[in-house]
Chains A and B, each alone.
Chain A
């Protein structure tokens, strides 16, 4: 697999939130404002990259019997480090993410990538996979946060847009979260499907061209 493909993979084809449907809880809970989505996404990216590197580096040392407790320990360590750093240097982000920051430990995206990718691939590739997955997650959260903030609060990244219509409060409540999430999932599935169709079309064309050229010969 090409290095760029590993990164791009996480953004659409295997987008953790929209295609793999992992980490749904923070996706729905923190995306009431675009800024929170960005903070959560970048926090998860940090943990994904570093736990990917550590787990990949130790993949031949950790016996498969104790791999899950080992992975969880490594992930929890990075989450706690992140939490302490955020509390010390970004106290505002800490208060807006609240309990979802420490809950990154049990975010299934992280353990999922440890099990599916980092435990089988080289260190650099695992870091790239973490970056791609993290960016895909961040992009989704920011997109969702932006849509919900504009519709539900009439602002974007905290800036009041002074929209002519009053904000639809339902979009910043949990039901509105599910609504936006469903539409984004459908959009991601559609984009992925369309890309695959195009690929198929490209693959079949040369084949049919070959057949027609053979026919030309026989004719």
Chain B
């Protein structure tokens, strides 16, 4: 019975543990999957309504520009919401920008990023991104913007993300924005 103890039993025990694990994981996944996908959907739509509360519902428009993640038109004509991202210090820095019909920025909201907590992540505070509200749709620079101190790279990435959104806006609306 040496081969049983030496070779077969270890394999069977491991197999049994793996099988029980797989069963447990399948059950938990089955339970949580709908809640997780609902959370993800909710958090993306929450941002859209945050930048453009006047909108009732959105239609997604196609856009091929690199770094632009979504272009949406409000169905009631309240404007456009465009999300774009640019490389920061610790990964992508995403921004959601809403535009009115003449191409001015209505509002900007910086979405969650993985910049340094307490430093670069401060671009997600309203005190930073509210500075962009009402800006004209010209290429923005950090001039005249109060950047987050100690986080030039993250601040710059935020501006590039907003500029990308503008570019997408001009492409989608056929360049009729001033």
Inter-subunit contact B28/A84 (CB<8 Å): yes
A-B contacts, 11 of them at CB < 8 A, read A33-B118, A63-B5, A63-B10, A66-B14, A81-B24, A88-B32, A89-B35, A153-B118, A172-B117, A172-B118, A172-B119
In the complex, A80 Cα to B117 Cα: how many Å?
A: 25
Contacts of A58 in B (CB 8 A): 17
Nearest A residue to B14, CB-CB: A66
Inter-subunit contact B25/A33 (CB<8 Å): no
In the complex, chain A residues 81-101 whose Cβ is within 8 Å of any chain B Cβ: 81, 84-85, 87-89, 91, 95-96, 98
Nearest B residue to A80, CB-CB: B25
Nearest B residue to A87, CB-CB: B36
In the complex, A70 Cα to B19 Cα: how many Å?
A: 12
Partner of A87, one of B13, B25, B39, B150: B39
Inter-subunit contact B28/A169 (CB<8 Å): no
In the complex, A96 Cα to B36 Cα: how many Å?
A: 16
A-facing mask of B12-56, CB < 8 A → 1, else 0?
A: 011001100100110011011001100100010000000000000
**CB within 8 Å for A70 and B24 given contacts A84-B32, A91-B39:** no
Q: 6 tightest A-B contacts by CB?
A: A88-B32, A77-B21, A88-B35, A66-B10, A172-B118, A32-B117
**Distance of B2 from chain A, by nearest CB (Å):** 13
Inter-subunit contact B14/A77 (CB<8 Å): no
A interface bracket (residues with beta carbon within 8 Å of B) = 20 to 34
B-facing mask of A43-69, CB < 8 A → 1, else 0?
A: 000000000000000100111011001
In the complex, A69 Cα to B28 Cα: how many Å?
A: 22
Please tell me if A212 contacts chain B, counting CB pairs below 8 Å.
no
Inter-subunit contact A73/B36 (CB<8 Å): no
15 A-B pairs besides A63-B9, A66-B13 with CB distance below 8 A are A61-B13, A62-B17, A63-B13, A70-B17, A74-B17, A80-B28, A84-B28, A84-B36, A85-B28, A88-B35, A88-B39, A152-B118, A172-B116, A172-B117, A172-B119
**Distance of B159 from chain A, by nearest CB (Å):** 21
**CB within 8 Å for A169 and B25 given contacts A63-B13, A66-B13, A88-B32:** no
Nearest A residue to B9, CB-CB: A63
Please tell me if B101 contacts chain A, counting CB pairs below 8 Å.
no
Contacts of A61 in B (CB 8 A): 13
In the complex, chain B residues 68-109 whose Cβ is within 8 Å of any chain A Cβ: none
Inter-subunit contact B25/A77 (CB<8 Å): yes
Please tell me if A173 contacts chain B, counting CB pairs below 8 Å.
yes
Contacts of B119 in A (CB 8 A): 169, 172-173
Inter-subunit contact B13/A70 (CB<8 Å): yes
**Distance of A166 from chain B, by nearest CB (Å):** 9
Please tell me if B146 contacts chain A, counting CB pairs below 8 Å.
no
Please tell me if B112 contacts chain A, counting CB pairs below 8 Å.
yes
Inter-subunit contact B118/A32 (CB<8 Å): yes
